[in-house]
Chain A
Amino acid sequence: MTDANQLAVDASEREGPSPPGHWLASAWAVAAFQLDRLMTRPRLAMALVGALFPPAVMFAAIRTAPLDRNMAVVMIYALIPEALCVLGLLVTMCPVVADELERGTWIHVAIRPGGRRSLLLGTFAAAVLWTSSVAVTGLLLTLFIAQLTQPIGLAAMFIALIVLSCIGRAALFALPAVILPKRALIASVGVAFLVEYMAGFLPAVVNQVTVSLRLRSLLVEWMGWRQQLPVEMMLFVDMYPASIQIIAVVILVMVLLTVACFILNRRQFPPSAEN
């Protein structure tokens, strides 16, 4: 057998089925790498500011006027699963491809078998972990400041909302990040505004594919507000039970990530796209 034939055979042998969990290990390798990248002083300072923002607003609010429990819960919802999570994910998820192109690492990742998928999923995992950690820290501080009754139940509910918000929005921002890597931040802000905060509030079929509808519906369900909800507000929440809302978010995440992976696998970046 010639050398080159032997090389081809060797390569075929290596080509065999991936061991179970191989792609998870690859994605985790990327996630660890991305988390390490986030451990810089400027990023940590940004995370600290993010975590302190909701308790600071809550502190200012309760100093200004008395706040009842329900109003405080709505405020925490607006500040953390909505605002803070979206801002955190804009910073961590949007640059998934642009950062690699700018740093010259894209080609080294893209040439690995499954490298593009691992890059996307690993960055997704890192973005969700990082943003969730910041948001949960902010939540605990805010609950401490607000001194609400049944804080453990509220903490559990908000942690669930934070996790769902993070996985849903990270998957949503993955699309502009792979379609328009160089303008991912602007595109993601546009997507957040148009999809989550405009379409999400339209009483039409289109709001069924938004994360914001699912989160609002879960909040209403878990807080037991459904019976007291004014008729006009019923248009802005979904009446299905919590399990359906969670399944809907998970399906949405899977669809968005699958589409983003497909697009990223097809993307070509000419040498001029780097730097």
Chain B
Amino acid sequence: MSSPPATPPAIEVTDLVKEYRGSDGSLVRAVDHLSLTVAAGEIVGLLGANGAGKTTTLRIIATLLRPTAGHARVCGFDSQADPVGVRRSLGYVSATTGVPDRLTARELLTSFGRLNGLTDAEVSSRVAWLIDTLALTSYADRPAGRLSSGQRQRISLARALVHDPPALVLDEPTNALDVVGSRSLLDTLEHLRENGHALLLSTHRLHEIEHRCNRFVIIDAGRVVAAGTRSELVGPTGDLESAFFRAVAGGISA
């Protein structure tokens, strides 16, 4: 897959460090001088084993955590200096959908539209548009407790898009989905890319995204160990999974 034209990044992470105090009092470095960028109209895959620092990185970008050092910017807004600017420009999708069982998709999207400060008229038109565009129509008025994991994740994606953010971060969004739900969700993400959204996607399911991302960033122990397009990482033969293992073992340099 070719790279999109060079443009200033919609998501920019520079020299990011995050340290936690462990339960035994020791300092744990979850993210270690990590840098990456995502341009508009691009999907970047953030790959790493459990505990590699993917979720921490995504949550710093989303202003949910403060970095120990370094910067995360979304559409030019710094996550520390202007968290509100970041929040207005970013949607977040996580593996746990957090969609309440009692609410319907329409009710949930309406609530979150209001939470985002949209007027009633804006909420109505935006919710209608999302339900139509993300193909939620058949279950938009059913309580989420009666829906499948895939349907709940699509509602979660709709919630992330309710304020029309130009950038999205997705933390293992296909984890709980079967192959059909997963493909459907990833097709939607590709559609969003075509519409100019910047997407940073973390996942363990490499085969699913191998041919869908413009670029990949592989991290291990909080550090970038490899980055590039699929062809740069994989070469003419081979697959992404082999490249991932080589990178984590130190075979590819960033």
Contacts and interface: CB of A to CB of B under 8 A. Distances in A.
B121 to A, nearest CB: 12
B75 A107 contact: no
A22 B245 CA distance: 49
A107 B85 CA distance: 17
B96 interface: yes
B76 A14 contact: no
A5 B96 contact: no
A25 B118 CA distance: 9
Contacts of A8: 75-77, 89
Contacts of B90: 111
Interface string A12-47: 101100110010011011101100110010000000
B20 A112 contact: no
B45 interface: no
B75 A112 contact: no
A221 interface: no
Interface in B74-122: 75-77, 84-85, 87-90, 92, 94, 96-98, 100, 102-103, 110-112, 114-117, 119
Contact of A112 (B56, B98, B102, B115): B115
Interface string A55-96: 000000000000000000000000000000000000000000
B85 A15 contact: yes
A2 B7 contact: yes
A7 B167 contact: yes
Contacts of B119: 19
A28 B9 CA distance: 36
Contact of A271 (B40, B55, B77, B167): B55
B254 interface: no
B65 A270 contact: yes
A10 B166 contact: yes
Interface string B50-79: 000001100100111110000000011100
A111 B92 CA distance: 8
A11 B114 contact: no
Contacts of A3: 7, 10, 39-41, 196
A114 B77 CA distance: 16
B142 to A, nearest CB: 16
A104 B117 contact: no
Given A2-B8, A104-B98, A11 B65 contact: no
Contact of A22 (B97, B117, B167): B117
Given A19-B117, A22-B117, A271-B55, A103 B102 contact: no
Interface in B121-163: 156, 159-160, 163
A52 B55 CA distance: 48
Nearest to B94: A107
A5 B7 CA distance: 9
Nearest to B85: A15
A262 B94 CA distance: 26
Contact of A26 (B56, B114, B166): B114
Contacts of A10: 75, 166
A19 B116 CA distance: 12
Contact of B94 (A5, A36, A40, A104): A104
A169 B7 CA distance: 53
A4 interface: yes
A111 B63 contact: yes
A112 B65 contact: no
A131 interface: no
Given A8-B76, A108-B92, A113 B64 contact: no
Given A7-B40, A36-B103, A113 B88 contact: yes
Contact of B10 (A7, A30, A115): A7
Nearest to A7: B166
Contact of A29 (B10, B98, B111, B196): B111
Closest 6 CB pairs of A and B: A104-B96, A29-B114, A104-B98, A3-B40, A8-B76, A105-B98
Interface of B: 7-10, 20, 39-41, 55-56, 59, 62-66, 75-77, 84-85, 87-90, 92, 94, 96-98, 100, 102-103, 110-112, 114-117, 119, 156, 159-160, 163, 166-167, 196, 198
Given A7-B89, A26-B117, A112-B112, 9 more contacts: A8-B75, A8-B76, A15-B84, A25-B117, A26-B114, A37-B100, A104-B98, A114-B115, A118-B115
15 contacts: A4-B9, A8-B75, A8-B76, A10-B166, A11-B88, A11-B89, A19-B117, A22-B117, A36-B102, A111-B92, A113-B88, A114-B115, A268-B65, A269-B64, A274-B96
